[in-house]
Structure 1
Amino acid sequence: MVLLCLVWSLQQVGFKATAQDISPILLIALRSGIAAALVGALMLARRERLTPNTWRPGLVVGSLFAFEYLLLGAGLRHTSAAHAVVFLYTGPLFAALGLHLKLPSERLAPLQWLGVALAFAGIATAFIVGAQPSNGTANANALFGDFLCLAAGAAWGATTVVIRCSTLSRASATQTLLYQLVCAFALLLVAAAVLGQLTFHPTRLAVGNLVFQAVIVSFASFLAWFHLLRHYVASSLGIFSFMTPMFGVLLGAWLLDEQIKPGFLLGAGFVLAGILLVSGYSRIKPALRPAKAA
């Protein structure tokens, strides 16, 4: 999980580092196409068939997945990789709110509502820091980029809700991933053409990042994640996944020389604490019982 979180945090750093050589939206489209071919080949090798009656929710999930990365790619043109990874990882928070409304078994407990309040307080703090008028228009652009990345997190949360509440909940992980990757490839390729984001200078860094994003991030890391989910408690893995935004902030400052304001770190801390309370509640609850009994 530590290695996976490191890989996922490098995703946004890679987008930002090669943005001059390859447009982020085009990069995401190409990596999705390559990864979709790899997943399809794996399914053929396993003789794995598509589950019946899943194509409609599959198209919805795939469209949401494409929309998430369209927003992320657009947001990274205006904000830093550190900001992007923190706002993107509000996805589990939006998923918890959506599942609370859709599934009776997913009702939020009082401690989880406290986590929601903490997370939204952290988001407000981070936005206030981004709106400080020290650089004029540049800060307005950064604030717009932060908003797009937050919307990407909401799209991620909606994707989770659709998967849990549709026939895809009974489909294999590879099948769900295939729907997402194929739709992302088709829709984002069109979006890149419409938005004029077809820049691709095949430098070593750009090509290396494309291979990393396609083979390591979109194919190997997601399959490794699904493998872990079959062998370990999901809530425990979820707690570990919160290392991703922390790694993202550190790597953005180290590799891209991004300046991280103390106020943003405070807001990010509230966001992570809130998401930890919401998503890690099943692991926190047993620890609270002895104290309550005492």
Structure 2
Amino acid sequence: MTEKRAIDGFGATALIGFSALLAFNQVVIKLTTAGIAPAAQAGFRSVGAVIVLLIWAYARGIRFTVPRAALGWGILSGFLFAFEFLCLFLALDLTTVSRASIIFYTMPVWLALAAHFLLPGERLTGIRILGLALAVLGVVIAMGDRSNGQASLAGDILALLGTLGWAAVALMVRATPLSQTAPVTQLMFQVVISAPIMLAFAALSGPMIRDFEPVYLLSLAFQSICIASLGFLSWFWLLTIYRASSVASFAFLAPVLSVILGWLVLGEHIGPLIWVALVMVATGIFLINRR
């Protein structure tokens, strides 16, 4: 087995760019909820991702192969993916980008905690326990800060449920027979199964289109191509080149950049406690992924 490289200049640039892309995506989702209901937006995004992945696989001559042992886990991952993004998109409809991002991007915290009990060789060390404690306390501070009129406890809780769903998907990919399948197959499971679930939820929960404008179609194209399909495939590709721990250490950038973009682009008011929570969560994620 070829040893994976430490992060070099190209890797750092790519990972910083991907974190910025994820952060910008939160702003895009928030803006698009004015025209497309959150669940419908998430469902349409998955439909678009299916189309992009099929085109990409055809162009590269890739076949989707699934071991029988992984089939059930793949289906379950699709349901969890639907749950994750329903929670996130609804959260962004109810609360600010800064609050939702601080909570949602704590996924490495919950994954590290679950891995401590379920994955061999993933025990929490002293420094990782400190990071976990800092991040959890940061989430508590963020959820406890009600000084902003845009704050929504329901939105905060949905963001927390969403990140728990994300951690469950990540754990499943590592700890079940689903790990025997290619990343493109794992991603296809998630978007194919999640699309009808989220669209059905959207159809039952009210009007799917709130205010049609062409810009919202561009938003869906951006989310489908740059995030839900090729974006995550690029992330998986980076994982094949660089050490997983080094790649994961860049996760702390996403909530930082999301908060800054929410402030700059959306004009969100960010109180002192939210900045404190952000620093604690970002530091905690960095310590958890530090080797």
Quick check: TM above 0.5? yes
Query: In the aligned structure 1, how far is the partner of 2:37 from the partner of 2:131?
Result: 36
**In 1, distance between residues paired with 2:64 and 2:226?**
24
Residue from 188, 202, 213 that aligns with 1:178: 188
Aligned to 1:35: 49
Q: Which residue of 1 aligns with 2:209?
A: 199
Q: Secondary structure at the match of 2:206?
A: coil
What's the counterpart of residue 231 of structure 1?
Answer: 241
Q: Deviations over 1:10-67 (max 9, x none)?
A: 1111111121111121111111111112212333342323121221000111111110
Instruction: Tell me which of 121, 125, 128 is aligned to 2:144.
Output: 128
- State the distance in 2 between where 1:151 and 1:100 align: 20
Tell me if 1:118 matches 2:134.
yes
Q: Runs (4+) of structure 1 moved beyond 3 Å?
A: none
Partner Cα separation in structure 2 for residue 68 and residue 212 of structure 1: 19
Are residue 263 (structure 1) and residue 273 (structure 2) matched?
yes
The one-letter code sitting in structure 2 at the alignment partner of 1:9 is: A
Instruction: Report the equivalent of 1:286.
Output: none
CA distance in structure 2 between the aligned counterparts of 1:24 and 1:10, rounded to whole angstroms: 17
For 1:47, give the aligned amino acid: I
Q: CA deviation at 1:82?
A: 1.4
Letter in 2 for 1:65: F
Rounded Cα–Cα distance in structure 2 between residues aligned with 1:47 and 1:254:
41
Report Cα offsets for 1:185-239 as digits up to 9, x if no partner.
1110111111115125431321111111111111221111111111112222212
Aligned length: 275
Shift of 1:110: 1.6
Instruction: Report the identity percentage.
Output: 31
CA deviations 1:70-121 (Å, max 9, x no partner) are 1111111210011111111111111111111111211111211111111111
**Using the alignment, how far apart are the partners of 1:145 and 1:55 within structure 2?**
33
Over aligned residues, Cα RMSD in angstroms? Answer: 1.5
Taking structure 2 as the reference length, the TM-score comes to 0.90
C-alpha distance in 2 between matches for 1:180 and 1:274: 28
CA distance in 1, matches of 2:116, 2:251: 21
User: Which runs of 5 or more structure 1 residues have no equivalent in the other structure?
Assistant: 283-294
Q: What is residue 249 of structure 1 aligned with on the other side?
A: 259
- Post-superposition CA distance 1:112-140 (Å, at most 9, x none): 1111111111111112213x4x74xx64x
Aligned pair in 2 of structure 1 residues 201, 50: CA closer, same or farther (>3 Å)?
farther
**Structure 2 CA distance for aligned equivalents of residues 279 and 129 of structure 1:** 27
Q: Give the equivalent residue in structure 2 for 1:288.
A: none
Match of 1:166 in 2: 176
Q: Which amino acid aligns with 2:225?
A: V
**Which whole-Å CA distance do the structure 2 matches of 1:218 and 1:148 have between them?**
20
Shift of 1:169: 1.1
- Taking the aligned partners of 1:253 and 1:126, their CA distance within structure 2 comes to 16
Contact 1:26 1:197 in 2 (8 A): no
Q: Could you tell me which amino acid in structure 1 is paired with residue 157 of structure 2?
A: F
Q: Assess if the C-alpha contact under 8 Å between 2:109 and 2:288 holds in 1.
A: yes
- Alpha-carbon distance between aligned partners in 1 of 2:71 and 2:278, rounded to the nearest angstrom: 37
Match of 2:88 among 72, 97, 104: 72
The corresponding residue for 1:291 is none
Q: Does residue 1:11 correspond to 2:11, yes or no?
A: no
Deviation at 1:152, TM superposition (A): 0.6
Whether the aligned pair in 2 keeps the contact of 1:6 and 1:247 (CA below 8 Å) is yes
> In the TM superposition, what is the alpha-carbon distance from 1:269 to its structure 2 partner?
1.1
Distance in 2, matches of 1:252 and 1:59, equals 34
When residues 18 and 100 of structure 1 are mapped into structure 2, their CA distance, relative to the original with a 3 A threshold, is: same
1:51 aligns with 2:61: no
Aligned 8 A contact 2:52 2:224 in 1:
no
Secondary structure, counterpart of 1:242 in structure 2:
helix
With normalisation by structure 1, the TM-score equals: 0.89
Indicate if the aligned counterparts of 1:93 and 1:279 stay in contact, CA closer than 8 A.
Answer: no
1:154 aligns with 2:167: no
The answer to whether the 8 Å contact 1:57/1:168 transfers is yes
Gaps of 5+ in 2: 1-14
Contact 1:66 1:188 in 2 (8 A): yes
